[in-house]
Amino acid sequence: MRGLIALLAAASLLVPVPALAAEPPRTGFEKTGNWTTEAEEQAYLRATGLPVTRIGTTAQGRPIQLVRVGPRSARTVVVFICSQHGDEPAGREACLIRMRSLPRASGTTYLFVPNANPDGRAADTRGNSAGIDVNRDHLLLRTAEARAMAAVFRDWKPDVIHDLHEFGPSAPYYVKDVLWLWPRNLNVADGVHDLSETLSRSYVRPSVEAAGRTSGVYGIHVDPVTGEPVRQVAGDGQERILRNTGGLKHGMGLLVETNVDNTPRFRVESHLKALDGTQSFVRSERQAVEAATAASRAVRSGPLYFGGADNQAPAPEDVLTTPPCGYVLTGAQYRDFADELALHGVTSRYLRGGDRIVPLKQQARALLPLLLDARADEPLLHARPVAQC
């Protein structure tokens, strides 16, 4: 009997014991309820095992990073820009949490800029270390932060750009938990504009409201008693804001804002529910998104606008009914702004005498008058429009 027991015991040692599943990495916020620190963020990114690329460096030497989830060559690309304003941290926490659970083998490449304003986050300030609002710099590209994002948009050509923010204080008008908005700029191609609005209204809204959150359109003060709109307050037509710039660069754009009057955990979870909506949109509308993006890149004719929005008619003088063939830059202008033009994906040709011509018939068409024409609100430079190229 003893021999049999010993034999059975020895045999049991040969049976493999299932290994305990490794605990997924957790952010500082998940561990402590406090916002994830800079050191905790870097340790967390290393622990995820996801590809991390340094796409820029802030004025104070902090890395601006891009995290990729999914294959490098997927047909659909989605970019999440997290906490451009350093004192709006809930979006960054939601991005860090979400990146670890996305499928790493799928038909979508998910890209995260998990900390789009590292110096501002460290100081808990809206702007970067120079006090510049990064979300008002997507045309002029004065900041390292905006330049890094412009390079991502140029190189990856995203189909969807989801921009995470917070708003407050909310009283007495902004009384919702979550606000959302699509690109309103009139130079955004119709298909991109319409699908962006669909993303906001038909995917993000039901996703957050199914979780018990209230939501509404960003930029409109609503009377808390009657529920009626009181006035428009956001810079809806400003092309320099990311949701508009993203649309001008052919991506479905979306701004999502959570209410700082709620608890940090509620705000982070609200952003996660909004991210669910965007993921659902990409799965359901993939073919329409790809078609709209392709059609937007192919536009080579039609009017262009210096003002107005999808909810505000432009002034007659703000409509380029017959746009120029292109814009001529002097050699000095080109040397001064070649980097910015390259980051925007603008192409040009050399002219005899040292000047350069930027033809309007290119993928950056919707941006060019806003960058180069003296009639624009805040052009990069004043180039000379020409009727013939």
pLDDT tens, residue by residue, 360-379: 999 999 999 999 999 999 99
Choice between 31 and 237, residue whose per-residue pLDDT is larger: 31
Strands 304-305 and 319-320: antiparallel
pLDDT at 1: 47
Per residue in 260-315, pLDDT tens?
A: 999 999 999 999 999 999 999 999 999 999 999 999 999 999 999 999 999 889 99
pLDDT at 20: 55
pLDDT at 302: 97
Per residue in 221-254, pLDDT tens?
A: 878 788 787 877 765 568 999 999 999 999 998 9
pLDDT at 155 over 80: yes
From 197, 239, 257, 269, active-site residue: 257
pLDDT at 234: 66
Whose CA is closest to 41, among 112, 139, 141, 144? 112
| C-alpha angle 344-347-350 in degrees, rounded to nearest 5 | 140
Confidence of residue 7 (pLDDT cuts 50, 70, 90): very low
pLDDT at 6: 46
Per residue in 83-137, pLDDT tens?
A: 999 999 999 999 999 999 999 999 999 999 999 999 999 999 999 999 999 999 9
Cβ-contact 15, 8 below 8 angstroms? no
Confidence of residue 15 (pLDDT cuts 50, 70, 90): very low
What is the reported pTM? 0.93
Q: Per-residue pLDDT averaged across 31-52, rounded?
A: 98
Whose CA is closest to 286, among 199, 163, 157, 190? 199
Confidence of residue 5 (pLDDT cuts 50, 70, 90): very low
> Which positions ≥6 away from 37 have C-beta within 8 Å?
28
pLDDT at 18 over 70: no
Host H or E run for residue 163:
strand 160-167
pLDDT at 55: 98
> Which positions ≥6 away from 313 have C-beta within 8 Å?
none
Three-state secondary structure call for residue 146: helix
Confidence of residue 174 (pLDDT cuts 50, 70, 90): confident
Mean pLDDT score of the chain: 93
Strands 220-222 and 356-359: unpaired
Cβ-contact 362, 347 below 8 angstroms? yes
Judged on CB neighbours under 10 Å (0-12, 13-18, 19+), 14 is exposed
> Helices marked H in the chain — which ranges?
2-12, 28-32, 38-48, 90-99, 118-123, 144-156, 190-198, 205-210, 242-248, 264-284, 286-297, 331-343, 368-372
pLDDT at 169: 80
pLDDT at 192 over 80: yes
Residue 386 to residue 351: CA distance in whole angstroms: 13
What percentage of the chain carries pLDDT values higher than 70?
94
Q: 48 φ, ψ to 5°?
A: -70, -25
Strands 349-350 and 326-329: unpaired
Residue 257 annotated as catalytic: yes
Structure-derived torsion over alpha carbons of residues 332, 336, 342, 343, reported in degrees to the nearest 10:
-160
> Which positions ≥6 away from 128 have C-beta within 8 Å?
58, 59, 86, 117, 119, 120, 134, 143, 144, 145
Please tell me the number of Cα atoms within 13 Å of 245 on its side-chain side.
24
Chain center to CA of 371: 20
pLDDT at 12 over 80: no
Domains plus CATH for the chain? 35-297 (3.40.630.10), 304-386 (no CATH)
